[in-house]
Amino acid sequence: LTHERVLCSDTMEIGNTDYSYKQLKNIVHEEATSMELTQLNCMIPVFYGAMPNLGLYTRPDGPIDNWSELLPMGKISEARAAQEEAVEMATKDMVYVASLLYEAGADGINFDTVGASGDGDFLATLKAIEILKEKYPDMAIEVGMSGEFVLGMHGQLEFDGIRLAGLYPQDQARVVEKAGGTIFGAVINTNSRKTLPWNLARAVTFSKACSDASNIPVHVNAGMGVGAIPLSNTSPTDATSRVSKSLVEIGKADGL
């Protein structure tokens, strides 16, 4: 309510402290109750969000061998097989949690920090989106990326014939749109060795290219270490305000 009525936010999100879909399936009914109560009090759209976080499916937190340990040992095929198995598990969990929260009244679902575990992480999200849009055609789905290019932890994973490893924001947006996503959260990494003007010019360039390539709204991630925002715990207001205005007015972003 403070964000809605004091800070004038136009959208909000509910997210648990343990911000990963795998963990949330254990408390999903409590989260659904929180969503219902929030919707009773708020006028603005309220999303529910969490991370795919494919890494949580590896030992000791999950049942699958850790590909980050297999790869240095030269066990490439085993590492790829482990990621493919994790993709299926993550997809199932994301669909389960997102379905219950949407039916509890969420105005949309946010898949946050997508691709943090590489191309398998991205693929699991895209597959979950496809299933959810088939179940709920009107569901609003936002996909916020974790970095400006997709890490090729697997290297051979594809979605609809497009290899995911190495995709930059403008290509990521096209894939998300194809899967059924309705908002794309582009990420442009901040280089902490460079100045604010340098980083802002780079972020605006990427944002404009992404907006030109996408038919769905592009909400550029503008936070600590991304979107030209300085890498500090409390960003200077003059920096954040200049970045915000530039990304929208010059970079053609639809939101932040």
Q: Report pLDDT digits (tens) over 229-248.
A: 999 888 899 999 999 999 99
Residues 73 and 79: beta-carbon distance below 8 Å: no
* C-alpha span between 217 and 225 (Å, rounded): 22
Residue carrying structure tokens 């697997």:
154
pLDDT digits (tens, 9 = 90+) for 44-54: 999 999 999 99
**Residue 70 predicted with pLDDT over 80:** yes
For the chain, the domains span 2-185, 201-256
pTM for the whole structure: 0.95
Measure the CA angle with vertex 210, ends 215 and 151; round to 5°.
115
pLDDT digits (tens, 9 = 90+) for 118-131: 999 999 999 999 99
pLDDT digits (tens, 9 = 90+) for 2-48: 888 888 888 999 999 999 999 999 999 999 999 999 999 999 999 99
Residues 105 and 140: beta-carbon distance below 8 Å: no
* Length of the chain as a residue count: 256
Handedness of CA 156, 157, 161, 164 (dihedral sign): negative
* C-alpha span between 149 and 189 (Å, rounded): 9
